[in-house]
Amino acid sequence: MATAKQPTLQEGGGERRSNRRYPLESDMAFRIVRLRKVVEIGSGRTVNMSANGVLFQSTHALPVGEDVELSIAWPAQLDNKARLQLCIIGRTVWSGDNFTAVQIKRYEFRTAGPSGFCQLTTSCQLRACPVGPPLKRSLYPLHLK
């Protein structure tokens, strides 16, 4: 996939981000969630990541302001045996071309199943989706803005 061309400076020339971004190219999947219902699923590759956000590339940019769940194949393994997934709840804050930036609201590391994505449970509304179930209900903010 091509390199991201994203804005990095605010008007006035200052850096917008408060945290350093690190390159991380890894397979990932996403779900757009509205009123606790999954309305779209897809996959892509991460471009970079910081403590507060993730930039990824997919077949199309996601709309800004959407609540999303991401499942990212983590490059490290647990005890050099078990693959890990970084499961994120966030909101899209920027998009352009085929790139989307997500602000991280909650995250959790999980062991990955044979498919490499978070495992599905009976609480998942789309059993065939490539992303695991929503993160624990207690991790959802009470009021999504």
- CA torsion 85-108-122-91 (nearest 10°) is -100
Please state, as a whole number, how many other Cβ atoms lie within 10 Å of the Cβ of residue 139.
Answer: 13
In the prediction, which pLDDT does 78 show? 87
Higher pLDDT, 50 or 114: 50
Q: Which domains does the chain have, with CATH numbers?
A: 22-115 (2.40.10.220)
* H helical segments located in 63-125: none
The percent of residues in the chain predicted with pLDDT above 90, rounded, is 53
- Model pLDDT, residue 81: 85
Nearest to 131 by CA among 57, 34, 42: 42
Residue type, 85: Q
**Which residue's structure tokens are 């996939």?**
1
For residues 106-116, average pLDDT: 78
Between 122 and 104, the more confident residue is 104
Would you say 43 and 29 are in contact if contact means Cβ atoms under 8 Å apart?
yes
